[in-house]
Amino acid sequence: MPGTGSRPPANPIVKRNHRCQARLCGAAVLLAATLATGAGAAGPKTRVTVYRAFEQGRLAPGLTIARTARGYCWEGSIADQRSDAWRCFIGNVIVDPCFSDRQARGWVACPAEGSPFDRRLIRLRLTKALPKELGNHGTPGTGDPWAVKLADGRECTFLTGATSAYHGRRISYGCTRTVFLAGSPNRRRPAWTIVLGRGQNAPSRTVSIAVAAW
């Protein structure tokens, strides 16, 4: 092994033909090394991120308040099983998820577009105290991701309302008006995958997930 002081084993290609020309032998050694390196090279890997709305009770750097509203939260988030994620009302509109912080009293931060990839927030001033007894008990990584970014750059967020089935799987994520993701991410390999659809009767295909966010 390198660094132990032991000599590397003789290259079998060179040993079998020690009279070969130096140029040809060198090419054989280079090819063998290249194949060995390629065999052990790491492929694409899904990056897992955790959304942080707060830092020490204040808005995290890089985030901005798009607007301020009044409302309340009545249960833990369906989109994200984290204990600091909530399902809230602004008027008659459901906003999920919104995030709380122990040091930020009286308000929660709700991503303006419901996506962790959007840096704008709604500052939701609470008209009722958070119902901690109805909150989630999970940690980042519990359940399905709140949102994913596909290898082609498309962003998809978890659908918290009633949806239909697609080839036997729940339509779990909305990407565009016509593109959705069904089922849960397959995490068996470093690069996670998921089923993508374009309408109930269209054939499905499997796509890679570049980023998974909780």
Tens digits of per-residue pLDDT, 160-176?
999 999 999 999 999 99
- Return the pLDDT at 21: 40
Task: Kindly state the percentage of the chain with pLDDT values over 70.
Answer: 80
Distance, in Å, from the CA atom of 130 to the CA atom of 125, rounded to the nearest integer, reads: 11
Contact 72, 100 (CB under 8 A): no
Instruction: Please state the separation of Cα 74 from the chain's center in Å.
Output: 26
Report strand pairing: 155-158 vs 169-174. antiparallel
What pLDDT digit, counting tens, does each position of 63-105 carry? 999 999 999 999 999 999 999 999 999 999 999 999 999 999 9
- Return the pLDDT at 199: 82
Closest CA to 170 of 151, 201, 197, 150: 197
Confidence label for 40 from pLDDT (cuts 50, 70 and 90): very low
Mean pLDDT of 6-13: 40
Contact 90, 105 (CB under 8 A): no
Mean pLDDT of 52-62: 93
- Return the pLDDT at 10: 42
pLDDT exceeds cutoff 60 at 43: yes
Closest CA to 85 of 136, 130, 133, 125: 136
pLDDT exceeds cutoff 80 at 26: no
pTM for the model: 0.78
What pLDDT digit, counting tens, does each position of 113-152 carry? 999 999 999 999 999 999 999 999 999 999 999 999 999 9
Confidence label for 57 from pLDDT (cuts 50, 70 and 90): confident
Among 31-35, 54-58, 168-172, where is mean pLDDT lowest? 31-35
Mean pLDDT of the chain: 84
If one compares 1 and 29, the residue with the highest pLDDT of the two is 1
- Return the pLDDT at 79: 97
Distance, in Å, from the CA atom of 157 to the CA atom of 212, rounded to the nearest integer, reads: 10
- Sorted by sequence, the CB contacts under 8 Å of residue 101 that are 6+ apart come out as 53, 54, 57, 84, 109
